[in-house]
Amino acid sequence: MDIIVYILMLLVFWLLAILRMVRGEHKKLAVALSELQKTHRDLQNAQAQLLQSEKFSAIGQLAAGIAHEINNPIGFINSNLQTLEKYAAHYSRLLGILNKLEKALRDKDQERAAHIVASWEKVRQETDFAFIDDDIGNLIKESREGVQKVSRIVLDLRAFASPDKGAMDSINIEALMESMLNIAWNEIKYKAELKRDYGDVPLIFCNPQKIGQVFVNILINAAQAIKDKGFITIKTYTKANYVCVDFSDTGCGIAPEHITRIFDPFFTTKPPGKGVGLGLSISYDIVRKHAGTLTFTSSPDKGTTFTLMLPTTYAWRDVKELP
């Protein structure tokens, strides 16, 4: 009996010791978990800053081109306003003559009225009012189109550069593409002829700021890969539950020894000032977090095609079941 009591006491002491150890380990685990959560938050903040930094890096590369795209319409709007000012002066002169003629007729001063009509005939011969009438409409139309172009570029740039709030929405990927082309257009137009092959694809559920950043990164790379003059083709189509976008260029292609490193952070073959090697790495991560894929095929001296696949809005609801 004493032996049984002794054994029970040993078991109690042993269990108490284990309980103290468990409590100690639990506290350690709680501290470790708290540190991991803090590290995770720090990493998320760092990633958000990195994404924003890469966006501003892309804007920095495109800044001169964006300024040029804005400056062109502003230039011809200013020129049109100067011309309209001259036309307004002609009509102001005409209005003055009509006012004088009205007063002469009211005063029944036929001689003065005849003199005013003669002066009007001289003005009409000196001024091509028919041409001015036609040209005014054209100047106003051109100026309005220029204002709309500047407005589109500014709005697209603001949407692209503004801090990402993580908002997801159903969007038309082709409309988003056009917005990003407005930003990157000056980088493209001197290097390549752009071909669009849009397939009127379904909506996708995504963060448009992040996916727009992917588009800009790939478009800049495509333009910079072309040495003199070439083609960039954008094709959209559907494949099963995915919306697909092919970005094809006729540039220098990717060397075989670089194939496995294309999506590595900080890997770049560009000269200094053309990039830090984060564009494709960030793009790959963005697409992966949207349950999509980003792949490529390339042939040296022939060109490269990047293929982006993202689930449709309908498929997004079952995204965990997608391959």
Q: Can you give the pLDDT at residue 159? A: 74
Q: Please give the C-alpha separations between residue 288 and each of 15, 175, 310, 317, 319, in angstroms, as whole numbers.
A: 48, 22, 9, 16, 12
SS3 of residue 264 by DSSP: coil
Q: Averaged in consecutive runs of 10 residues, what is the pLDDT profile of the chain (323 residues)?
A: 64 67 65 59 55 63 75 87 89 85 83 83 82 88 88 80 76 93 88 93 91 91 89 94 94 83 67 56 88 91 92 71 42
Q: What is the pLDDT of residue 194?
A: 94
CATH 3.30.565.10 fits 168-321, yes or no: yes
Q: For the chain, what is the largest distance between any 2 Cα atoms, rounded to a whole number of angstroms?
A: 148
Query: Strand 169-171 to strand 303-311: parallel, antiparallel, or no bridges (unpaired)?
Result: unpaired
Q: What is residue 204's predicted lDDT score, i.e. its pLDDT?
A: 92
Q: What is the pLDDT, as a whole number, of residue 294?
A: 93
pTM: 0.68
Domain boundaries, the chain: 1-163, 168-321
Which among 148, 247, 262 has a CA at the least distance from the CA of 188?
247
As a whole number of angstroms, the distance between CA 188 and CA 186 comes to 5
At residue 26, the pLDDT reads 62
Tally of CB atoms within 10 A around 220 = 21
Radius of gyration (C-alpha) of the chain in whole angstroms = 34
